[in-house]
Amino acid sequence: MLKSFHLKASKSHQRLLDLAKTDGHRSVTDFFKEEPSRYHSMHAETNGLMMDWSKQRISKATMETLHELASEARWQEGRDALFSGCAINQTEGRAVLHMALRAEPGDTFKVDGEDVMPAVLEVRKAMLAFADQVRSNVEIHNVVNIGIGGSDLGPLMVTKALRRFHDGGPSIHFVSNVDGAHLEAVLDGLSPKNTLFIVVSKTFTTQETMANAMAAKAWLVDALGTEAVRSHFAAVSTNLSAAGEFGIDEQRTFGFSDWVGGRYSLWGPVGLSIACGVGSGNFKALLKGARAMDVHFQQAPDRENLPLISALTGIWSREYLGFETQVVLPYAQDLDRFPAYLQQADMESNGKSTGRDGKPVPHATGAVVWGEAGTNGQHAFYQLLHQGTSIHPADIIAVKSPMSLHLEHHEKLLANAIAQAEALMVGRRSDQVIAEMQQKGASPSEIEAVSPHRVFAGNRPSTFFLLDQLDPETLGMLIAFYEHRIFVQGLIWNICSYDQWGVELGKNLANQILKEWNGESPAPHDPSTNALMQRMKQE
């Protein structure tokens, strides 16, 4: 269990409050004027992933004080507790060891004194062997992953991101929403005899997943008969008996332990659909990249530790500058589901208002995470980023190596990524706008009327990430980077990052409403809920 850290009582916190009143309002362009080498002192890299935080609204003094804050929070001690298998998921009494899922033979991860690696490696071997069998089966043209939340967002994001590594094998599809239209849209055009379903539910009871699984089963059985279930379904679940009752053979069921949270689970059996798409070799490369980031997080000095630094700049923006959101802008179409993946990873982890001590936290916690792939976002919401009344710190992610054969497209993509980071920082002054309008022959009255609308203040913070290439190994590093950033922020905010009690109430009420619609005794509801239920039941 992690020790509580009370931010408001921290000496560094008090200094940061003072710095927010001074340096927090200074212009980043002024920082660059004072220190032309600022980029060199505010960027770091490891194994093909570079992070530049020099455009953050942050001074050297602030950065040093943030590192002191992390030291006061005993972040290194917390990191050691994470990797040692302590039950840091304290409300559920569980360790948090998704890092073990990408570990290599010879690594040691223990829970309650027992080395978990033999079991991890055994399941990995079986899962990847099954994936390669699926890929070599000429009868299987399509694999449909049925899951929701972490059983969908992670595998879907990685499968799309590694599009270029689908060298043969089946097409991979994903069904998550309990809205039957989702399943219907995916199955449209598929052939039952050429389709494999992977049902991903740890308990094999998840409402949405099981509704879709039963409907998929009915679709298959209607065409091929009951016996086809054994050869056209696989499961990722620890509930062997329930999977067996469904008709899935135990040899086609792959489980994982309760020290793996759903939103951190793509590295193990939950990633079976990824492996079916890209093959065992590329899946292992994904794990290798994530493990490399684990090693970096454990061994890199504080001033070069990418997840730590990113966490601290995020805390500065959220707690001290009052910026409520974090926008993620991948300039790579293959990463277009990455913002959605991070929404769950971050907001389900750090969207908490109760501290590890069980008391309400008296400070800000997790930011709202959102975003869209560039350059699409530029034609949607960047207007607000540049001239809106609120400020949204941005993570801009670019890839140096082209991801298609259209090389001229890639040059435009990179130019836009760099330009947006610069534009967010420098803005556009009134004198610049007026000079431009005068040069184009605008009249004085037109300049007076229009020029204010073309001015924007700039000084809007961003961090720039440059990946050498978007391949399995680098993608693994990027995902693990954000996992560790989330951990550090939760540690300093003194919250329990690895439970998600906030999603339970809605589930329970939905089950109750379903029971009432099916004739069971009604429970008390508010007048609005009663009216909505009655309206929906009317024919």
Q: Which DSSP symbol is given to 54?
A: T
DSSP 137-189: -TT--EEEEE--GGGTHHHHHHHHHTGGG--SS-EEEEE--SSHHHHHHHHTT
Q: Which of 159, 151, 499 is nearest to 338 (CA)?
A: 159
Strands 110-111 and 49-52: unpaired
Q: Which DSSP symbol is given to 358?
A: S
Dihedral in degrees, nearest 10, Cα atoms 409, 340, 488, 284: -70
Q: Which DSSP symbol is given to 193?
A: G
Q: Which DSSP symbol is given to 449?
A: H
**Residue 379: active-site member:** yes
Selected catalytic residue, list 3, 412, 507, 515:
507
As given in the structure block, the two tokens for residue 310 are 């990113």
> Does an H or E element contain 467, and which?
strand 462-467
Strands 325-331 and 233-236: unpaired
Query: Could you tell me which residues come within 8 angstroms of residue 314 by beta carbon, excluding any fewer than 6 positions away?
Result: 326, 367, 393, 485, 489
8 A C-beta contact, residue 38 and residue 31 = yes
CA angle centred on 29, ends 27 and 32, rounded to 5°: 120
Selected catalytic residue, list 379, 400, 406, 409:
379
- Say which residue the tokens 């409300």 belong to: 91
8 A C-beta contact, residue 269 and residue 236 = yes
Selected catalytic residue, list 13, 232, 284, 348:
348
3-state helix, strand, coil in the chain (%, to 5): 55, 10, 30
Rounded Cα distance, 386 and 280, in Å? 44
Query: Could you tell me which residues come within 8 angstroms of residue 273 by beta carbon, excluding any fewer than 6 positions away?
Result: 143, 145, 155, 159, 172, 174, 198, 200
Query: Could you tell me which residues come within 8 angstroms of residue 132 by beta carbon, excluding any fewer than 6 positions away?
Result: 275, 279, 280
Classify 45 as helix, strand or coil.
Answer: strand
**Residue 348: active-site member:** yes
Question: Exposed e or buried b for every residue in 20-48, given b needs 16+ CB within 10 A?
Answer: beebbebebeebbeeeeebeeebbbebeb
Q: Which residues are catalytic?
A: 348, 379, 507
